[in-house]
Amino acid sequence: MQVVVLVKQVADTAARIKLADGKQDIDRQSASLIVNPYDEMAIEEALRIKEKHGATVWAVTLGEAKAEEALRTALAMGVDEAARVSAPASDALTVARALAQAVREISADIVIAGRSAADDEQGQVGTLVATLLDWPHVTEVTKLEISGSEGVAEREVEGGVEILDFSLPVVVTTQEGLNTPRYASLPGIMKAKRKEIRQIALGEDVVGQPVLAVRSLELPPPRGQGRILTDLDPAQAAKEIVRILHEEAKLI
Amino acid sequence: MWSWVALTAIGPDYFDVDSLLTEEERAVRQMVHDFVAAEVMPTVGEDWLKGRFPIELVRKMGGLGLFGPTLPEEYGGAGISQVAYGMIMQELERGDSGLRSFASVQSGLAMHAIYRYGTEEQRRTYLPRMAKGELIGCFGLTEPDAGSDPGTMRTRCRRVGDHWVLNGEKRWITSSPIADVMVIWALDEEEKVRGFIAPKGTKGLSAPAIETKISMRYSATGDIVLEDVELPEELRLPEAKSLAAPLTCLTQARFGIAFGAVGAAMDCFNEALDYAQNRIAFHKPIAQTQLMQQALVDMLSLTTRSQLMALRLGQLKQEDRFNYTQVSLAKRDNVRAALQTARMARELLGGNGITTEYRAMRHMANLESVDTYEGTYEIHTLIVGRDITGLNALG
């Protein structure tokens, strides 16, 4: 069984970011980069499938050479193989076409992706890959069981849980609550260093033309100073807060 | 364009030391950083107050390969670089000096003593299990009346037939109350220092805890009492033939402390900077005052210098062309710098700074111990002083 995890390298959610010149991307040179947290859950789930049923787990990313750091992290966590796809892809559709081609080349039985990336939060790629492959697809999975060529996935829905049966091959995306990703271990880091990363180069004939373009990104406005009401008794203060929320903030 | 601000989650890194690390060293640092952020930071303040060592973390740390990581794989190590080892220490001490002390003693003292001075059988019996965190080690050298002058130790060993009898008392032994394997140093009848492995449960061996510490409360510290403890010849470390043996182990541990202190200082700086930017007094952030900016810049300066010295020391050690006197200078300076940084951070935090809800005073209280143990600031001064003048002023 081949399990492919789709991995994206994103800016560290704990660090401050800057926009690149032209405002169409973040400044990736200055950003501290990590594996997208939802993708870490995907890696963990793939490793659990491997430990339970036996499988070869692949981590696949699309990006520049620097993105191989994310693959090394996946290898250090225990992934068996890694591949970097390079392709002229810019929007979710072209990225998905490239990744779907990589999934075909690896002959995957299960594809696990994060529900969305912590940077652009579009949440399109997993679903588009499933569509392009014409495979069953379960989004935002909180529990996953595989047995033979069948599987059961749970998802949280308003007020309850939805339980879905499917047969392989399948594409699933991860949701909080699925698992707690393991840490890379030191022996894992040392082994990851020596591992060769497969290179998959794809052209425009495979990925096609993008259908979306980023016009510009804006950072959120800096948080203003708070306001403190003084010299009012509680009743007056309450009245004044209601007035501010209604007339100035227009929140109520 | 490089920006140091983006790195504050794991920094500060004002001189982009990051780019001097290998990819593997950065990966090790990130992994330990994440581990400490998730497993230590949320509870360390409360546990420290209770005087509780987080024993549940020992096997987790072992599982990640954090003990004896520079040793060959056959003994449970991962063969990582000296700088990567330093990064482990830095990130553990960003959490708490007590946690780093535990790792220093396990790896640098106990495992190192067995690796360097033990038999092949002793190595295979103890090291893999110590690497996994299944066995906890400690290192019994210091005594109530022998600290800076370990050569005057009173613990004695006497050969009787095919075994040895040990008597004496050790003090200030990190991890002794929880240790399964105690490395003990004792003088024989010819006044030669010999080393032994004393397993927990041996008759006459006990390790009462020191409960009155107001420093290093996230660490188990105790005595070791030896009353006619009988150990077979097979538990003696045969390659240890003089005081040089335990002193060599200390150099190993001090090397880690030079990096660890940087982690404590970084945490204090980050906390102080964040506090100063958000704490409003006289209608503006206190960071907008000249006094606070001076304090913050002084802290950054101390921390950055320590970071650079530690890295260079690690590179020299990796190339095996370092001297123990360089380790002395780095331990002395980096710990004192971290202590000064912690004191400034505590002061900057005002009244909030005295609680364990903030980190500075806990680090400060810990660093008072780190400044004293593993060779006091003054002893290291005299070691380096002897080296540069050629004249011995030590005792």
Nearest by CB to residue B5, choosing from A16, A34, A193, is A16
Task: Please indicate, yes or no, if residue A27 is contained in any of the structural domains.
Answer: yes
A116: buried, middle or exposed (CB in 10 Å: 19+, 13-18, 0-12)? buried
Most B CBs within 10 Å: which of A43, A186, A191, as the mutation test of the B interface? A186
In this structure, are residues B371 and B336 in contact, taking their beta carbons and an 8 Å threshold?
A: yes
Q: What are phi and psi of B327, to 5 degrees?
A: -65, -40
The ipTM assigned to this model is 0.80
**Is the confidence at residue B1, as pLDDT, over 70?**
no
Whether A217 is covered by a domain: the verdict is no
What residues of A are in contact with residue B24 (Cβ under 8 Å)?
189-190, 193
Does A94 share its domain with A196? Answer: yes
Model confidence at B6: pLDDT above 50:
no
Provide, rounded to the nearest whole percent, the portion of chain B with pLDDT above 90: 94
Find chain B residues with C-beta within 8 A of A186's C-beta.
28, 31, 64-66, 69, 78, 80
Name the residue range of residue A250's domain.
222-252
Mean pLDDT score of chain A: 93
Q: Is A48 among the domain residues?
A: yes
Please name which of A188, A115, A112 lies closest in space to residue A146, comparing C-alpha atoms. Answer: A112
Tokens coding B272? 């102080």
**pLDDT at residue B3 is higher than 80:** no
Characterize the bridge pairing of strands B236-237 and B221-232. unpaired
Give the side-chain half-sphere CA count within 13 A for B39.
21
- A102 and A186 in a single domain? The answer is yes
Q: Closest Cα to residue B200, out of B219, B221, B223, B177?
A: B177
Give me the catalytic one of B121, B191, B374, B378.
B374
The verdict on A125 and A239 lying in the same domain is: no
* Chain B residues lying within 8 Å of A193, measured CB to CB: 23-24
* B120 pLDDT above the threshold of 60: yes
Best of B2, B7, B74 to substitute, by most chain A Cβ atoms within 10 angstroms, is B7
Is B357 a known active-site residue? no
pLDDT in tens, B133-174: 999 999 999 999 998 999 899 999 999 999 999 999 999 999
> Under an 8 Å CB criterion, which residues of A touch B?
12, 14-18, 27, 29-32, 34, 69, 72-73, 76, 183-190, 192-193
Q: Could you tell me if residue A69 is inside a domain?
A: yes
Question: How many domains are there within chain A?
Answer: 2
Do both A129 and A250 map to the same domain? no
Closest-CA residue of chain B to A71: B27
Q: Do A18 and A130 share a structural domain?
A: yes
What CATH number does residue A27 fall under? Answer: 3.40.50.620
Domain match, A145 and A32 both: yes
User: Does A162 lie in the same domain as A80?
Assistant: yes
Residue-level pLDDT at B9: 60
Closest-CA distance, A32 to chain B, in angstroms, reads: 6
> Are A172 and A104 part of one and the same domain?
yes
Q: Out of A130-139, B19-28, B45-54, B100-109, pick the least confident.
A: B19-28
Average pLDDT over residues A150-170: 96
Same domain? For A198 and A251 the reply is no
A175 and A231 fall within a common domain = no
At A31 the pLDDT is 80
Of A30, A234, A169, A121, the C-alpha closest to B7 is A30
CB distance B23–A190 less than 8 Å? no
Q: How close, in Å, is residue B34 to chain A by CA atoms?
A: 8
Residue A126 lies in a domain: yes
**pLDDT, tens digit (0-9, with 9 covering 90-100), for A194-223:** 899 999 999 999 999 999 999 999 888 877
Residues A190 and A234 in one domain: no
Q: What is the mean pLDDT of residues A88-105?
A: 96
Q: A192 and A247, same structural domain? A: no
Whether residue B64 and residue A185 make contact (CB cut-off 8 A), yes or no, is: yes
Q: What is the pTM of this model?
A: 0.87
On whether residue A212 sits in a domain, the answer given is no
pLDDT averaged over every residue in chain B: 95
**% of chain B surpassing 70 pLDDT:** 98
